[in-house]
């Protein structure tokens, strides 16, 4: 079954992509949730026209994302956390703290676009890496250090 995605969906693709999925997944999950629509011929024509009109807007968004990458790349942020005497953190550091630390530096980023490289809970003091997806294919890598408060 061919569907057209109405919004970005991590496992399948970006908004406006035409993807092939199993019938049950499309009919029972994606379409009822409003994530996708059936890719009929008329829907494909409408999509093509919309893509032509969106080309200029896409270029503008991409340039803004590249500008943010230039701001983020090479910048190292520090995140303070309460720790024990052995260097273990009470709790863990997650994407919310990274987004807040970036906001303090004047860079607004949605926490949902941040992924921590190790995909594990950060529970010790040290240096870590995270990836920020700013646009479809534009990603920024940032190093952050967890320090004791």
The pLDDT tens digits for 68-126 are 999 888 788 999 888 888 888 888 888 999 999 999 988 899 999 999 977 667 888 88
Mind listing the domains of the chain with CATH numbers?
Answer: 2-64 (3.40.5.10), 69-148 (3.10.430.100)
Is this structure's pTM higher than 0.75? no
Q: What is the C-alpha separation between 110 and 102, in angstroms, rounded?
A: 10
Per-residue model confidence (pLDDT) at position 38: 94
DSSP 3-state of 97: helix
Please report the pLDDT score of residue 39 as a whole number: 93
């Amino acid at each position: 079954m061919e569907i057209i995605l109405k919004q970005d969906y991590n496992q399948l693709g970006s908004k406006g992509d035409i993807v092939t999925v199993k019938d049950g997944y499309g009919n029972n999950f994606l379409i009822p949730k409003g994530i996708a629509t059936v890719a009929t011929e008329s829907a494909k024509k409408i999509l093509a026209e919309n893509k032509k009109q969106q080309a200029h807007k896409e270029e503008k968004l991409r340039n803004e994302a590249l500008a943010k990458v230039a701001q983020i790349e090479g910048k190292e942020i520090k995140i303070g956390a309460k720790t024990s005497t052995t260097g273990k953190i009470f709790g863990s550091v997650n994407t919310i703290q990274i987004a807040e630390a970036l906001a303090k530096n004047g860079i607004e980023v949605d926490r949902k676009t941040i992924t921590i490289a190790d995909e594990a809970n950060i529970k010790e003091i040290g240096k870590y890496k995270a990836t920020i997806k700013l646009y479809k294919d534009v990603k920024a890598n940032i190093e952050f250090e967890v320090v004791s408060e």
